[in-house]
Amino acid sequence: MTKQRIIILSVFFGMLVFAGCSKYLEQPPDSTWTDLSTPEKVSRLLGTAYPKASYITFCEAMSDNVTDKGVGVVERVNQDPYLFNDVQDENQDSPEAYWHACYNAISAANHALQACDKAGNTAAYSRQRGEALVARAYAHFMLVNVFSKFYDPATANADPGIPYVTEPETVVIKQYERKTVAYVYEMVEKDLLEGLPLISDEVYSVPRYHFNRAAAYAFATRFYLFKKEYAKVLEYASQVFANNDLAANMRPWNTTYANMSPEQLWTVYSKATENANLLLVETASLYGRYGPRYRYGMNYARQVEILFYNVTGGNWAYPVYYYGNQDYFVPKLTEHFVKSSVNAEIGNPYVMTPLFTTEEVLFNRAEANAWLGNTAAVLQDLNLFASKRIRNYDVSQHNITTSRIRNYYGTSDIRAGLIATILDFKRAEFVQEGMRWFDLQRYKMPVTHYTARGDTLVLAADDKRRLLQIPQSATTSGIELNPR
């Protein structure tokens, strides 16, 4: 086994004082919201129908991708989730910021839908209506998977969900019901299926910043995977790309990317021209500045666990760097600092976040096929992925077979081995992007964290803290908090 390449970087970020973003809902409406007299103006409004906040910091900190390094940047949005405590922060990168951002996106979608309904020529607004429906579905879907129990058909009709909002607010404080996880999933599906046929790529100059057709179908694969309707995952995965060509739209980690510097990788990873990025959103976040340097993050031992070994016997092509003090990272997400004015010395940090990628579609398809017993199809996808990720890939050496999986994982259950392989590959692919948390939730896997003081913290499968706490401010609208 060739040792993973570790390169020491001396990277210095500008450390401008940042006092925290004000809540978007506190900002007065502008003409984007008040003048919706044409399809083009509705389209501009729909640019705000996506959560402009990030789940990455708190989701990554709750996962098994991180540990207590003993030193590093200490922020509540990173520390509290690691310690399995409710996050005592309401600014960027907090669950509360994400809650508000999702409902703000939903509000924008609802205003857009209202404008579409009022328009005399509804056909002219069909593309906007499609995007608004799918965007509304996405924001609710993410909310229910962060703040409620994960979907389980046996309990979803009783598990409290989140409010599904379908019309613009007309009063200062409106009362809402959480209803159930099953209800939220039903409403998400209704919006998704109504919106999908209306989505069109031609309406936007940069489709990757909106729910284009590929992104909308990718969302459908995630939704039905979580809902455990695996045949539908395959149905929608086949429609993401023409000719079902995922291979040509994957990140070239072991070819083109392999020759790039960290600065080049940071530039290309979240670009709209990168084929693998199906949907991008600009999020108010400090993760690009602090992510690898948070105290609770990926150290040497964790990166060995995640990025050294795999069932192929080969080495992952992901380049691993570190700042020092055990701050290990793969160059992906970087900060875009936006000055408050042309000559200002202050401003706000943002991170361009990929919400859906080609690789997720491949993993969703593979996992669905695993549950459907289509072993050959799963192996085909896993080997396609390996061919794009293993350094100096050689099919004669690195080909994944059922025998290889059984030996590597020590199991005679090939379905269990296939799913373990998929989850391990996903863990490596999306490390430091928060995605691991959703897999831990779906499979109810316990998480164990250790502190530098020697404490052991266990988040069991049925621990109430797996549900992030709903913001206290939501109780004024009649929304019950999660039990603790």
Q: Which residues pair with 8 in a beta bridge?
A: 322
CA–chain centroid gap for 448, Å, is: 22
Rounded Cα gap, residues 263 and 266, in angstroms: 5
pLDDT tens digits, residue range 307-344?
Answer: 999 999 999 999 999 998 899 999 999 999 887 777 77
Residue with structure tokens 């999702």?
Answer: 102
Q: What percent of the chain has pLDDT over 90?
A: 86
One-letter identity of residue 32: T
* Residues 161, 183 contacting (CB under 8 angstroms): yes
Residues forming a β-bridge with 67: 297
Distance CA 374, CA 353 (A): 33
Q: Name which of 185, 159, 147 is nearest 59 in CA terms.
A: 147
From the options 3.40.50.1100, 2.102.10.10, 3.40.50.300, 1.25.40.390, give the CATH code of 39-477: 1.25.40.390
Mean pLDDT, the chain, rounded, equals 92
| Chain segment 394-430, per-residue pLDDT in tens | 999 999 999 999 999 999 999 999 999 999 999 999 9
CA 41/CA 208 separation, integer angstroms? 19
Instruction: Kindly tell me if the per-residue pLDDT of 391 is higher than 90.
Output: yes
pLDDT (tens digit per residue) in 359-377:
999 999 999 999 999 999 9
Which string of DSSP letters, residue by residue, matches 401-442? -HHHHHHHHT-S-HHHHHHHHHHHHHHHHTTTTTTHHHHHHH
Cβ atoms < 10 Å from Cβ of 452: 12
Of the candidates 347, 350, 319, the one whose C-alpha atom is nearest the C-alpha of residue 336 is 350
Secondary structure (DSSP) of 324-350: STT-EE-S----EEEESSTT-S-EEEE
Rounded to an integer, the average pLDDT of 138-155 is 98
Strand 67-68 and strand 296-297: the pairing is: antiparallel
- The pLDDT of residue 207 is 87
| C-alpha distances out from residue 371 to 108, 211, 374, 416, 447, Å | 37, 28, 8, 9, 24
Integer angstrom CA distances of residue 384 from 115, 134, 218, 231, 425:
44, 30, 18, 21, 12
Q: How much is the pLDDT for 172? A: 65
Could you tell me how many residues make up the chain?
Answer: 484
For the stretch 221-267, pLDDT in tens is 999 999 999 999 999 999 999 899 999 999 999 999 999 999 999 99
156-215 pLDDT per residue, tens: 999 999 999 999 987 767 899 999 999 999 999 999 999 999 999 987 778 899 999 999
DSSP H helical ranges for 227-331: 230-237, 262-269, 287-290, 300-307
Q: How far is CA 319 from the centre of its chain?
A: 21
Q: How far apart are CA 314 and CA 387, in angstroms?
A: 11
- What is the torsional sign of CA 133, 139, 143, 144? positive
Backbone angles phi, psi at 353, to 5 degrees: -110, 125
Q: What is the pLDDT of residues 60-118, one digit of tens each?
A: 999 999 999 999 999 999 999 999 999 999 999 999 999 999 999 999 999 999 999 99
C-alpha dihedral (232, 421, 79, 283), degrees to nearest 10: -40
DSSP secondary structure of 61-109: HHSTT-EE-SSSB--HHHHHHHTT------STTSHHHHHHHHHHHHHHH
- Residue 177: CB atoms within 10 A of its CB come to 15
Residues of the chain with pLDDT > 70, as a percent, come to 93
